[in-house]
Amino acid sequence: MLGFLRADRAKKKCLFCHIGWATTYRENDAEFLKNQYDRLINAGYKVNVVTNDAPALSFFDELTVLEHFSASYSQTQDLIRDSGGINALVGKVKSVRFGVESPSTRLRKIIGKPFETEALFELSCKLLNLGIGVRWFMIAGLPGEQAEDYNELKEIVRRARHEIKKGALQLSFTAFCPDAGAPMCLSPLDDGYWDRFDDFWKYFFEKDGFTRKIQLFRCAGTKSRLEHAMASMGASEVELRNGWLHKDPPNWRVKYSYRDMARRAYDVYAKRTGLPVSTME
């Protein structure tokens, strides 16, 4: 397993992920990693590319076979175009994992991933029908999420019965948990996500949504999510419920590389989603 890190500009940073805000990154030595990759492949090992967006790596075209990789929608589309078509991925890629984040186009546009749910589904169907596995990673309970944000996903489930001919689209959910260095950690912790996710879960398993063309993975419940959040933020339940709109979280005594930008980034997000904004300068 090889790990790759690539440089990201501030505007590309995940609003909910600590990593991009805590420190600066650059792509690791490309020649060294490519040589290591070649040695592992020649020795008969299976190699996974551990990065948020494998096709964005400067040496991605030189990688011959991948078990799976995580990729952005836009970079995957660019890869398909530059390779002469989606069929070029057959034999090179066994599975693709997309960081979809929100079930809805609405919320993705606000967090800076402006691709349509339908467009991603169409691409996923093409990959699946070619024998390439696809997994969507989504977050239940991003601040500002609404019940209606699941409507597009319910439509995808309905269409999957007829449009996926081979394999199954995997939908993997994680409950939103605040990370100390990321802008969204400032938002008051709300358990309303569970009712919205549970409604979708029951739609799939107890109503008319079930299909073997979809594999659905449950997110953490409120109790375990709270325990994780308290550990992540080094804060009490009361503090997490109140949020940090009027003072800094205790972990902000650490001088993260982009900490001074985080509150401004949260306020922009809050205004776009109708959440309360910060009262601090």
Q: Is residue 200 domain-resident? A: yes
Q: For a pLDDT cut of 70, what percent of the chain falls above it?
A: 95
Q: How far is CA 251 from CA 3, 23, 244, 268, in A?
A: 27, 14, 11, 22
Q: What is the mean pLDDT of the chain?
A: 89
Q: Is residue 216 domain-resident? A: yes
**CATH number of the domain where residue 255 is located:** 3.80.30.20
Determine the 3-state secondary structure of 96 from DSSP. Answer: strand
pLDDT of res. 2? 39
Query: Domain span at residue 26?
Result: 2-273
Q: Residue 133 corresponds to which amino acid?
A: G
Q: Exposed/middle/buried for 244, CB within 10 Å: 0-12, 13-18, 19+?
A: buried
Q: How far is CA 228 from CA 20, 175, 176, 186, 245, in A?
A: 20, 10, 10, 16, 21
Assess whether pLDDT exceeds 60 at residue 75.
Answer: yes
Query: How far apart (Å, rounded) are the C-alpha atoms in residues 280 and 247?
Result: 7
**Which H or E run includes 2?**
strand 2-3
pLDDT of res. 1? 38
Binning pLDDT at 50, 70 and 90, where does residue 12 land? Answer: low
Mean pLDDT score, 84-108: 91
Please write the tens of the pLDDT for every residue from 189-217. Answer: 999 999 999 999 999 999 989 999 999 99
Q: Is residue 278 domain-resident? A: no
Q: Which residue has the higher pLDDT, 91 or 174?
A: 174
Binning pLDDT at 50, 70 and 90, where does residue 238 land? Answer: very high
Domain count, the chain: 1
Assess whether pLDDT exceeds 70 at residue 120.
Answer: yes
Q: Is residue 232 domain-resident? A: yes
pLDDT of res. 160? 97
Q: Is residue 142 domain-resident? A: yes
CB of 128 closer than 8 Å to CB of 171: no
pLDDT of res. 60? 82
| Residue whose structure tokens are 């449009």 | 163
Query: How far apart (Å, rounded) are the C-alpha atoms in residues 229 and 193?
Result: 14
Q: Which residue has the higher pLDDT, 125 or 76?
A: 125
Assess whether pLDDT exceeds 90 at residue 162.
Answer: yes
Residues 6+ apart with CB under 8 A from 34: 59, 62, 63
Binning pLDDT at 50, 70 and 90, where does residue 25 land? Answer: low
pLDDT of res. 136? 97
Burial 1-16 (b: 16+ CB within 10 A, else e): eeebebebeeeebbbb
Please write the tens of the pLDDT for every residue from 32-72. Answer: 888 888 898 899 888 877 777 788 778 888 888 877 778 88
User: What's the token pair of residue 208?
Assistant: 């008319």
pLDDT of res. 7? 34
Q: Is residue 280 domain-resident? A: no
User: For 2-16, 166-180, 181-195, which range has the lowest pLDDT when averaged over its residues?
Assistant: 2-16
Predicted TM-score of the model (pTM): 0.88
Assess whether pLDDT exceeds 50 at residue 10.
Answer: no
| Residue whose structure tokens are 């490519």 | 34
Q: Is residue 281 domain-resident? A: no
Q: Is residue 192 domain-resident? A: yes
